[in-house]
Amino acid sequence: MAAATAPQTKLTHRQVLIVFSGLMLGMLLASLDQTIVSTALPTIVGDLGGLNHLSWVVTAYLLTSTASVPLFGKISDLYGRKILFQFAIAIFLVGSMISGAAPNMLTLVLARGLQGVGGGGLMSMSMIIIGDIVAPRERGRYQGYTGAVFATSSVVGPLVGGFFTDSLSWRWIFYINLPLGLVALVVTSAVLNLPFVRREHRVDYLGAGLLVAGVSALLLVTVWGGNEYPWGSPTVIGLAVIGVMLLAAFVVQEGRASEPILPLALFRNPVFRVSSGVSFLVGLSMFGSTVFLPIYFQIVTGASATESGLLVVPMVAGLMLTSISSGRIISRRGKYRVFPIAGSLITTVGLLLLSRLDVGTSRVESSLYMFVLGAGLGMLMQTLVLAVQNVVAHEQLGAATAGVTFFRSMGGAFGVAILGTILNNRLDYYVPRNVPARLLQQLGSPSGSVLGRSRQVIDHLPDLARIGVIQSFADSLQVVFLVTVPLGLIAFGLTWFLQEVELREDVNVGHISEIDVEAVAPAEPPHHSDRPQPDAEAI
């Protein structure tokens, strides 16, 4: 039963910015760790094992963050946002500490899985709280802040990761999270004072377990199929059957659970259905490109880890430019549908351009290709979340936001696994064709040994072997990027089914008590509901 509240008022612009400061720190923590590891991957796998395990360093994080997103969303609807946000920070820091100290690849993969639980909570909770405190019509203006966080992490992450890898140790890419996380805990303790109504609850732990197990089984199919085991082997077929059965059981469980982590009723909403489908395809393409671009720059072009971080700046610039500009236009016009349509088309063009990257591609060309890709992604990600948040009731805000984020993360997890398998497969195909037979014995199994080599190691191979290996990477990565193009076209087709629903001008938290407002920003007197709110255009 809801408790009585004091006279109510909306958060002012200044108070929203104070809350945003805590949210942005949490988002920076999670998004930084998605990018900081990319430039260090060749070094990590060269130190702890072959690149056959590369996909799991990324996939373990994406898998657990994917599965935890709807769970955090549902529990936050029941317990409140602040405590779940801080719990996510704590889990993330524990995972970071273990990752940094990992003595072998297995420990690192498991620690990355733990880290992903916290990262999924941070990303989903940030988007949910933004949906609580900012009306959909005004949310586009604040979208620049979230875009700036992603852009900053995309630039700073690879740079810091490359610097630590080149100058200190790859382990510092995880240790750096500790001071940042402690600052985030202090700030959120001070500013995230949001009201919530406690009610009776039953958390769907069985549904969460079925979801994790089902997705894990299908991911193993994509990673092991054609590499560890033949596609027609009992192991691969058995995992595929088990995965499908577990996900079917998950759907049944969600239909009967009193508090489902992913309510099936959401799928009756056409905006949620379309946004979830497009988000899955965008996640697959986005994570695929961001993970494999540093491999192209380091292995094919000979860039250092630090340089490969600098080289992705054009993609970030495109993302930041269109994210901020599209957000402001959406707030001004109150319409959003055109941006996912245009964004998905531009993203597809960007992926097609990336498939042209070769040994002789100039820096100007690669920068242009990445700028186009970033410009498309900037119109897509936040706009799809906004569209979903605009059409659901407040009691389903957490589950709906987490749901669309879940599908994007799941697309990323499958994307990294599938594209990593394709990279292994194509290297097995191209290396014997590009390297003279008499030199192949020095390499061993193409994908089993070549993938574990850094550019520095490859440079010490005999000239013909070195040239052949580098060309094989270029040829294989072209296939990897080309595979994502049809997926982008499917996403483009789906966006035409996205309905245009007028953006609401009320906030989901509604009006919160003056006591809570004072706890957020006591220095500023509250604005009563009959007075005009500050113009967010001042942002």
Examine the pLDDT at 384 and tell me if it is beyond 50: yes
Q: Interior CA angle at 500 toward 499 and 506, to 5°?
A: 125
Question: Which domain CATH number covers 394?
Answer: 1.20.1250.20
Residues 248 and 263 in one domain: no
Would residue 275 count as lying in a domain? Answer: yes
The rounded distance, in Å, linking the Cα atoms of 278 and 280 is: 5
Residue-level pLDDT at 196:
54
Residues 290 and 211 in one domain: no
Residue-level pLDDT at 456:
66
Q: Which residue has the higher pLDDT, 133 or 247?
A: 247
Would residue 303 count as lying in a domain? Answer: yes
Q: Which of 228, 256, 284 delimits the end of a domain?
A: 256
Which whole-number Å values give the CA distances from 210 to 66, 204, 250, 311, in the listed order?
13, 10, 5, 41
Q: Which residue has the higher pLDDT, 246 or 74?
A: 246
Residue-level pLDDT at 460:
72
Residue-level pLDDT at 524:
41
The whole-number average pLDDT for the span 522-538 is 40
Residues 240 and 330 in one domain: no
Torsion of CA 507, 513, 515, 516, to 10 degrees: -30
Residue-level pLDDT at 348:
92
Residue-level pLDDT at 525:
40
Does residue 513 sit in helix, strand or coil?
strand
What is the rounded average pLDDT for all residues in the chain?
75
Torsion of CA 157, 158, 164, 166, to 10 degrees: -170
Residue-level pLDDT at 517:
33
Quickly state the pLDDT bin for 539 (edges 50, 70, 90).
very low
Does residue 414 sit in helix, strand or coil?
helix
Would residue 538 count as lying in a domain? Answer: no
Residues 90 and 179 in one domain: yes
Residue-level pLDDT at 5:
37
Residue-level pLDDT at 518:
37
Nearest-CA neighbor of 42 among 34, 50, 33?
A: 50
Q: Which of 238, 256, 274 delimits the end of a domain?
A: 256
Examine the pLDDT at 535 and tell me if it is beyond 70: no
The DSSP symbol for 192 reads: -
Residues 399 and 276 in one domain: yes
Q: Does residue 370 contact residue 393 with C-beta atoms inside 8 Å?
A: no
Residues 75 and 161 in one domain: yes
Distance of CA 159 to the CA centre of its chain: 19
Report the percentage of the chain scoring pLDDT > 90: 10
Would residue 539 count as lying in a domain? Answer: no
The contacts of residue 449 (CB under 8 Å, 6+ apart) are: 50, 443
494-525, pLDDT tens digit by residue?
999 988 877 766 555 443 333 233 333 333 44
Tokens matching residue 14: 């200044």
Q: Which of 214, 240, 256 delimits the end of a domain?
A: 256
Residues 174 and 209 in one domain: no
Nearest-CA neighbor of 142 among 8, 10, 23, 279?
A: 23
Number of domains in the chain: 2
169-186, pLDDT tens digit by residue?
778 888 888 888 888 788
Residues 296 and 419 in one domain: yes
Examine the pLDDT at 371 and tell me if it is beyond 50: yes
Residues 432 and 322 in one domain: yes
Would residue 395 count as lying in a domain? Answer: yes
Residue-level pLDDT at 538:
37
- 255: exposed, middle or buried (C-beta count within 10 Å: 0-12, 13-18, 19+)? exposed
Tokens matching residue 326: 């599209």
Neighbours of 460 (CB within 10 A): 9
Would residue 3 count as lying in a domain? Answer: no
Residue-level pLDDT at 346:
94
Would residue 2 count as lying in a domain? Answer: no
Residue-level pLDDT at 404:
81
The rounded distance, in Å, linking the Cα atoms of 15 and 523 is: 10
Q: Record the pTM.
A: 0.72
287-341, pLDDT tens digit by residue?
666 778 878 888 888 887 677 777 888 887 888 788 878 877 887 787 888 899 9
Examine the pLDDT at 347 and tell me if it is beyond 60: yes
The whole-number average pLDDT for the span 117-137 is 76
Task: Match 């969460």 to its residue by tokens.
Answer: 208
Quickly state the pLDDT bin for 56 (edges 50, 70, 90).
confident
Examine the pLDDT at 143 and tell me if it is beyond 80: no
251: containing domain:
205-256
Q: Does residue 304 contact residue 298 with C-beta atoms inside 8 Å?
A: yes
Q: Cα-flanking dihedrals φ and ψ of residue 225, to 5°? A: -60, 125
Would residue 531 count as lying in a domain? Answer: no
Q: Which residue has the higher pLDDT, 502 or 139?
A: 502
Least confident of 49-53, 85-89, 357-361: 49-53
Residues 60 and 151 in one domain: yes
The rounded distance, in Å, linking the Cα atoms of 249 and 150 is: 36
Quickly state the pLDDT bin for 98 (edges 50, 70, 90).
very high
Examine the pLDDT at 218 and tell me if it is beyond 90: no
Greatest mean pLDDT among 6-10, 30-34, 113-117, 304-308 lies in 113-117
Nearest-CA neighbor of 423 among 451, 445, 442?
A: 451
Quickly state the pLDDT bin for 489 (edges 50, 70, 90).
very high
Quickly state the pLDDT bin for 443 (edges 50, 70, 90).
low
Residues 146 and 235 in one domain: no
The whole-number average pLDDT for the span 384-401 is 75
Residues 197 and 221 in one domain: no
The rounded distance, in Å, linking the Cα atoms of 146 and 28 is: 9
Rg (CA), the chain: 23
Which whole-number Å values give the CA distances from 388 to 267, 269, 337, 426, in the listed order?
11, 9, 12, 39
Residue-level pLDDT at 142:
65
The whole-number average pLDDT for the span 474-501 is 90
Which whole-number Å values give the CA distances from 462 to 304, 436, 439, in the listed order?
21, 11, 8
